[in-house]
Amino acid sequence: MFSSRVIQGLFFVFALTLTAGCGEQVNEDLLRNAQVTFDDALVKEASGDLAGTLPLIDAALTNGGLNPDQLAEGYLLRARCYCASGELEKAQADIDMADQGAPNPAMLYLTRGMLLDKQGKSAEAKAEFNKAKKADPTITLP
C-alpha cells in the first residue's frame, strides 16, 4: 500500500493540477476570487484574527485558483490557524502538504516551530524558530 507521504504528494500534485487548469484556459474570475480570498486571509492573520482567517484560507485552498507558491503558503497559513485552535493533527497534515510544494522556508520553519511548541517540544520548536530567523531575519517569532 502507499505510504501517507506518497498519498500526500499525489494529493498536492492533484491540487496543483486543479489550480493550473490542466493546460486549459483558467477562468479569470476564479483566479481573481482566489487572490482576493487569499489576500483577505493574510490581512486577517496580520490583525491577529486567526479564527476569522481559517474560513477564508480554507475557501482559497478549496476553490482553487492559487499558484503553487500561494498554495504552499496557504497550507502553512491554515496550519498556523489549526495550531492556534489546538487542531494539531490537521496542522501537521497541512505542514506536510506545504512541504511538498515550494514554500517560503522561513514560514515553513516558523509554522513547524509553532506546532512543535504546541506539542510541548520546546527544544525542537526553538531549533525551528532559529532556522526561521536565519532564513529571514525580519520574521516575527511568536
CATH of the domain at 10: 1.25.40
* CA angle, residues 93, 95, 101, in degrees to nearest 5: 110
On whether both 95 and 108 belong to a single domain, the answer is no
Assign 26 a pLDDT band (cuts: 50, 70, 90): low
Q: Which domain holds residue 67?
A: 4-103
Q: Report percent pLDDT > 70 for the chain.
A: 81
Report the predicted TM-score, pTM, of the whole model to 2 decimal places.
0.74
On whether both 69 and 82 belong to a single domain, the answer is yes
Q: What is the dihedral of CA 110, 114, 120, 121, to 10 degrees?
A: -10
Q: Are 134 and 103 in contact (CB under 8 A)?
A: no
On whether both 15 and 63 belong to a single domain, the answer is yes
On whether both 18 and 80 belong to a single domain, the answer is yes
d(CA 43, CA 75): 16
On whether both 77 and 128 belong to a single domain, the answer is no
What is the residue-averaged pLDDT of the chain? 84
The model's pLDDT over 101-138, given as tens digits with 9 standing for 90+, comes to 767 899 999 999 999 999 999 999 999 999 999 999 99
Q: How far is CA 82 from CA 20, 30, 50, 62, 64, in A?
A: 26, 26, 9, 16, 20
d(CA 97, CA 113): 16
On whether both 84 and 141 belong to a single domain, the answer is no
Assign 31 a pLDDT band (cuts: 50, 70, 90): confident
Q: How far is CA 5 from CA 14, 87, 95, in A?
A: 14, 20, 12
On whether both 108 and 86 belong to a single domain, the answer is no
The model's pLDDT over 76-99, given as tens digits with 9 standing for 90+, comes to 999 999 999 999 999 999 999 998
On whether both 122 and 138 belong to a single domain, the answer is yes
* CA angle, residues 39, 44, 46, in degrees to nearest 5: 95
Domain count, the chain: 2
